[in-house]
Amino acid sequence: MAMNPMQKKARTSFLLGMFLTLILTGIVIVILILQLGKIRKEQAAIIYNQVYVLSQAATSGDTVVGKTVVKKVDSSVVPSNAITAANAGTYITDLSTSKINLEVGTILTTDMINTEGQPDTPDIRMQEYNMVILPTKLTAGETVDIRLRLPSGEDYIVLSKKYIEEANANTIWIKVGEDEILTMSNAIVEAYIMEGSLLYATTYTDAGMQESSTPTYVAKNSVINLMNTDPNITAVAKAALAARYTENLRAQRDIINQALNGYSGDATENIEDKLEQEIQRQQTARQEYIDLLGL
């Protein structure tokens, strides 16, 4: 059957359109193939580094062990001081803590980690204290100094940068060495003697970045002599004590002695009253703990 000119023209236009569509589609496919090949080449050229990344958030002063994973990361975004398998043995240890607050997914670098922690020496013990005035918002995991303020206003650092292992309304648990136990015991007794004195804790705002403060409280001579002869105190601690008790700090001890002299008549009574309160608090807390366990 003969095709009229209009039909022929329509058919020709349709075929031409199909042809052009096929050509354009082919061009697009070729472009996509070329682009895909380029992307694959770029990906193949990327060098990945295995670095340590936080799997859990860490706040300043937190230990990082158990909070890291090894992850492959594009080397172009890896800091030059990132922690890798080559240096992980130095920076990812039981003593390593975060200097700053870190979010999940952070690539750990050497300047984020504090490695200056010290392993527990043989004289380290877990000690609880319920006579220290605690900050209202203190919780386990924070770091404090324990200080003694005299009624006259002098204020001394007794223990420096102690990590709070546990805490409740009026009791803290901290790790202390033999020298610290003796120093703290001396400070407690003297705080009991001097009515109006205050044995209290202050919290570090950024424990990871802040250095330890230097203790300024000096125990009385008989306690110092005991420390010097106590076989339970490590040689390192004794050396630190010897360096601490300079002439200047001995002068501070004289100030404390003068303050104590004003309470000589009431010393025994004050100590007995405060010890009775301390024992009562400890017995109450112990009974509450036993009740909680259902024993």
pLDDT digits (tens, 9 = 90+) for 227-263: 878 888 877 777 777 776 665 667 778 888 888 887 7
- Is a pLDDT exceeding 60 seen at residue 3? no
Overall pTM surpassing 0.75 (yes/no)? no
- What is the reported pLDDT for 7? 66
- What is the reported pLDDT for 16? 73
- What is the reported pLDDT for 36? 78
Shared-domain flag, residues 80 and 144: no
How many structural domains is the chain composed of? Answer: 2
Shared-domain flag, residues 55 and 134: no
Assigned domain for 10 exists: no
Is 244 exposed, middle or buried (CB count within 10 Å of its CB: 0-12, 13-18, 19+)?
middle
CATH of the domain at 73: 3.90.1210.10
* Residues spanned by the domain of 154: 125-293
Phi, psi of 200 (to 5 degrees): -145, 165
How confident is the model over 8-32, as pLDDT tens digits? 666 777 777 777 788 888 888 888 8
- What is the reported pLDDT for 18? 78
Please tell me what DSSP assigns to residue 76. Answer: G
Shared-domain flag, residues 167 and 72: no
Shared-domain flag, residues 107 and 153: no
Of 246, 226, 124, whose CA–CA distance to 176 is shortest? Answer: 124
The band of 147, judged by pLDDT with boundaries at 50, 70 and 90, is: very high
C-alpha 264/C-alpha 124 separation (Å) is: 34
**Domain final residue, candidates 114, 139, 159:** 114
DSSP count for the chain of H helices, then E strands: 7, 10
- What is the reported pLDDT for 245? 67
- Is a pLDDT exceeding 70 seen at residue 4? no
- What is the reported pLDDT for 295? 58
